[in-house]
Amino acid sequence: MFFNITIIVSVIMVFSMALLQFSLILGAPFGEFVLGGQHKVLPAKMRFVSGGCCFVFLLVGLSYLQVAGAVSSLFDPVFVKLLLIAFTVFISFAVISNAFITKSKKEKYVMTPCSIIQLICSLFVLIYGYVL
């Protein structure tokens, strides 16, 4: 039961991050929440970074859905395992940078708790799920 809740939380958070990144690509004024928080609206060069992040978040979300059995095998299980391990490492760096490095208060006080929750869920899936 707890594993299913963890997967659901992970899927919601990751797809929400993909949606946030996609809105930044379109010029939404949420730039203070991501990528150091230095721009309210991301400049064109940084929108490519958001595009890459959006793509990665979508892949990770689909991988979580595959782990939960909600979608058929879209990806090779080895790819899913490596992707979720890499994402967990990435999100741990996000916690550190959001909490200690960023100068943006919005990124620090909004994204840090989100990153911590996502990190806990990712670790739980890796440790107690089928991945490890």
pTM for this prediction: 0.87
Given this model, what pLDDT does residue 34 score?
Answer: 87
Place of tokens 């991988």: 63
Q: Using only C-alpha atoms, what is the Rg of the chain? A: 15
Could you give the dihedral angle defined by the CA atoms of residues 70, 76, 77 and 81, in that order, rounded to the nearest 10 degrees? -100
Q: What is the mean pLDDT of each run of 10 residues along the chain (132 residues)?
A: 86 95 92 83 90 95 90 87 93 92 88 93 85 50
Given this model, what pLDDT does residue 131 score?
Answer: 52
Of 54, 76, 60, the residue nearest 126 (C-alpha): 60
DSSP letters for 78-107 = HHHHHHHHHHHHHHHHHHHIIIII---HHI
Place of tokens 């490596």: 82
Q: Distance between CA 25 and CA 30 in Å, rounded?
A: 10
For residue 48, give every residue at least 6 positions away whose Cβ sits within 8 Å of its Cβ, in sequence order, or none. Answer: none
